[in-house]
């Protein structure tokens, strides 16, 4: 019969027990819901990693721009060399044309002169395009257009 006495006493406090158990359940639920300092540190580390990734993407873009600029500058130098060679050839053909006496030689030199002029025009156009591309890439670098 001691258990029935215990149950009667427990019955008298059932409302109090219900309130305490509801409060305890609410406290446990609230603890699981609210971020702890450890969770906040993990979030901070994740955001820091995100900033690092952003910086890497920025550096990758800048590196691509510098690589493009270097490649275009190399193409400018190579095309400048071809342009100078073609101009020298044009001078040689023009000089030979002035001193030519044979009609066949004159016609051959005129054909060659026309070809050299076309090549010269092609290299000049390419040089202008490459210079524009160099300027555009340099502007992107100077204005930090990656960000």
1-21 pLDDT, tens digit per residue, is: 567 777 777 777 778 888 888
- Give domain status of residue 58, yes or no: yes
CA–CA distance, 136 with 65 (Å, rounded to integer)? 10
Q: Are residues 19 and 56 in the same domain?
A: no
Tokens 């009609």 belong to 103
Q: Are residues 53 and 30 in the same domain?
A: no
With contact defined as beta carbons under 8 Å apart, do 51 and 78 qualify?
no
- Give domain status of residue 147, yes or no: no
Look up residue 60 and give its two tokens: 């990758």
CA–CA distance, 145 with 136 (Å, rounded to integer)? 11
Q: Are residues 30 and 41 in the same domain?
A: no
- Give domain status of residue 14, yes or no: yes
Domain interval for residue 111:
36-142
* Spatial CB neighbours of 95, under 8 Å, sequence gap ≥ 6: none
Longest Cα–Cα distance of the chain, Å, equals: 142
Q: Are residues 22 and 93 in the same domain?
A: no
Q: Are residues 121 and 54 in the same domain?
A: yes
Q: What is the mean pLDDT of the chain?
A: 86
Q: Give the pTM.
A: 0.60
Tokens 């920025």 belong to 58
Q: Are residues 59 and 21 in the same domain?
A: no
Q: Are residues 42 and 109 in the same domain?
A: yes
Q: What is the pLDDT along the chain (147 residues), one digit of tens a residue?
A: 567 777 777 777 778 888 888 888 888 887 776 767 777 677 777 777 777 778 888 888 889 999 999 999 999 999 999 999 999 999 999 998 888 888 888 899 899 999 999 999 999 999 999 999 999 999 998 888 875
DSSP H or E run through 52: helix 37-99
Q: Are residues 40 and 28 in the same domain?
A: no
Q: What are the angstrom distances between the C-alpha of 37 and each of 24, 29, 40, 43, 119?
A: 22, 17, 5, 10, 72
């Amino acid at each position: 019969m001691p258990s029935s006495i215990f149950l009667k006493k427990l019955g008298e406090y059932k409302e109090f027990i219900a309130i305490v158990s509801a409060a305890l359940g609410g406290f446990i639920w609230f603890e699981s819901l609210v971020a702890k300092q450890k969770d906040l540190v993990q979030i901070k580390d994740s955001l820091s990693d995100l900033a690092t990734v952003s910086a890497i993407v920025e550096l990758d873009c800048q590196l691509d721009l510098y690589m493009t600029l270097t490649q275009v500058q190399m193409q400018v130098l190579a095309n400048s060399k071809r342009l100078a060679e073609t101009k020298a050839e044009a001078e040689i053909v023009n000089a030979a044309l002035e001193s030519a006496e044979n009609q066949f030689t004159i016609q051959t030199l005129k054909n060659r002169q026309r070809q050299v002029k076309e090549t010269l025009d092609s290299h000049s156009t390419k040089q202008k395009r490459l210079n524009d591309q160099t300027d555009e890439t340099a502007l992107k670098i100077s204005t930090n257009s990656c960000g």
